[in-house]
């Protein structure tokens, strides 16, 4: 019986009862990416084909291409005897992700400044405003998602499609890098830094915007602690927003829960906590 979580998906309006297998695969892909972006899915979480097939009401054969796509994008890795799992970027891989962003994003903000119009500023300002609102409401999930949105929107506004695609992948991998390298996750972007970047863009000052972006990325990278081994949380029910009713099935054979001294916090719990 697959009705439990499929029903939740249905009530969220993301999947109709007569959704095609392809539509279900798309939903699965988007749900996994959204769960990573919102810090609901921890690095190291095993992505069992059977469980995913059950959650999204597809066959295991249909799960495989989705996992392959995620693996190709660096969001999933395979390990002997453990199979597919959410990537846990090492310290070295994290450095590479930030090095790539430091190269790309100053160029992107300069490009936005070069052909900036009111619409662009308005779109960015809306995100910054929503971020501020989410921060006031202590809505961690929204804060994390919106901070990524700011960077993705900038990339989209720069008008360079290959770089926008690259940035979409880099921002999701940054979420994993932050989770894999930090014991507890605060806001990924400092409070007023998006606002300052936006002010420079609105003033058409590409040099300042570019400098502020480099500083912003350095601040995020420096805030990462030394890596701790990720604590896999094998409950894929985290793919469904926690506010919705769900059936929780723990995998008894999974890694043991953390000891009291372990600083790692399961992603499933992160959202319920406030910093």
The piece of 53-61, 86-94, 164-172, 189-197 that touches Zn ion (CB under 5 A) is 189-197
Give min distance, CB of 264 to Zn ion, in A: 24
Pick 193 or 235: Cβ nearer Zn ion: 193
Q: Report how far residue 128's alpha carbon sits from residue 133's, in angstroms, rounded to the nearest whole number.
A: 9
Q: Which residues contact 178 (CB under 8 A, 6 or more apart)?
A: 185, 188, 220, 224
The piece of 24-32, 135-143, 153-161, 188-196 that touches Zn ion (CB under 5 A) is 188-196
Pick 219 or 250: Cβ nearer Zn ion: 219
Pick 45 or 147: Cβ nearer Zn ion: 147
Q: Report how far residue 185's alpha carbon sits from residue 193's, in angstroms, rounded to the nearest whole number.
A: 18
Instruction: Give Cα 141 to chain centroid, integer Å.
Output: 10
Question: Which residue sits closest to Zn ion, CB atoms considered?
Answer: 189
Pick 64 or 102: Cβ nearer Zn ion: 102
Residue whose entry in the numeric block shows the structure tokens 């926690």: 242
**Site residue total, Zn ion (CB under 5 A):** 2
The piece of 12-20, 109-117, 158-166, 182-190 that touches Zn ion (CB under 5 A) is 182-190
Check: CB of residue 156 under 8 Å from CB of residue 119: no
DSSP designation for 56: T
Give min distance, CB of 197 to Zn ion, in A: 8
Query: Which of 8, 28, 116, 189 is in the footprint of Zn ion by CB under 5 A?
Result: 189
Q: Which long-range contacts (CB under 8 A, 24 or more apart) does 88-94 make?
A: 88/43, 88/44, 88/176, 88/180, 88/230, 89/43, 89/173, 89/176, 89/177, 89/180, 89/181, 90/180, 90/227, 91/181, 91/226, 91/227, 93/177, 94/177, 94/180, 94/181, 94/221, 94/224, 94/227
Give min distance, CB of 44 to Zn ion, in A: 25
Give min distance, CB of 169 to Zn ion, in A: 16
Give min distance, CB of 99 to Zn ion, in A: 16
Pick 85 or 189: Cβ nearer Zn ion: 189
Tokens describing residue 223: 């805030």
Tokens describing residue 232: 């896999």
Pick 35 or 189: Cβ nearer Zn ion: 189
Pick 52 or 167: Cβ nearer Zn ion: 167
Give min distance, CB of 10 to Zn ion, in A: 34
Alpha carbon dihedral 124, 128, 131, 136, in 10-degree steps, equals -160
Give min distance, CB of 148 to Zn ion, in A: 8
Pick 69 or 196: Cβ nearer Zn ion: 196
List, as one string, the DSSP characters of 130-142: HHHHHHHTT-HHH
Is 63 a binding residue for Zn ion by CB under 5 A? The answer is no
Q: Report how far residue 222's alpha carbon sits from residue 136's, in angstroms, rounded to the nearest whole number.
A: 25
Give min distance, CB of 150 to Zn ion, in A: 6
Binding mask 131-160 for Zn ion (x = CB under 5 A): ----------------x-------------
Residue numbers at the binding site for Zn ion (CB under 5 A): 147, 189
């Amino acid at each position: 019986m697959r009705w439990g979580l499929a029903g939740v998906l249905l009530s969220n309006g993301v999947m109709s009862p007569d959704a095609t297998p392809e539509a279900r695969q798309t939903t699965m892909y988007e749900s996994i990416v959204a769960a990573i972006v919102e810090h609901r899915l921890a690095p190291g979480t095993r992505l069992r084909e059977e469980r995913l097939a059950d959650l999204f009401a597809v066959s295991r054969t249909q799960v495989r291409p989705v996992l392959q796509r995620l693996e190709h994008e660096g969001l999933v890795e395979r390990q002997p005897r453990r199979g597919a799992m959410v990537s846990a970027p090492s310290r070295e891989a994290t450095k590479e992700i930030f090095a790539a962003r430091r190269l790309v994003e100053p160029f992107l903000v300069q490009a936005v400044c070069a052909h900036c119009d009111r619409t662009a500023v308005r779109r960015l300002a809306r995100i910054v405003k929503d971020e501020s609102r989410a921060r006031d409401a202590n809505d961690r999930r929204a804060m994390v998602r919106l901070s990524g949105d700011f960077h993705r929107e900038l990339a989209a506004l720069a008008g360079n499609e290959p770089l926008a695609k690259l940035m979409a992948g880099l921002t999701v991998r940054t979420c994993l890098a932050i989770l894999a390298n930090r014991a507890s996750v605060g806001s990924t972007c400092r409070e007023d830094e998006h606002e300052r970047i936006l002010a420079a863009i609105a003033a058409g000052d590409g040099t300042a915007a570019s400098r502020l972006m480099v500083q912003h990325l350095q601040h995020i990278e420096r805030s990462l602690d030394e890596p701790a081994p990720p604590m896999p949380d094998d409950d894929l029910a985290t793919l469904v927003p926690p506010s919705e009713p769900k059936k929780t099935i723990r995998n008894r054979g999974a890694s043991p829960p953390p000891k009291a001294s372990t600083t790692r916090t399961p992603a499933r719990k992160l959202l319920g906590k406030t910093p």
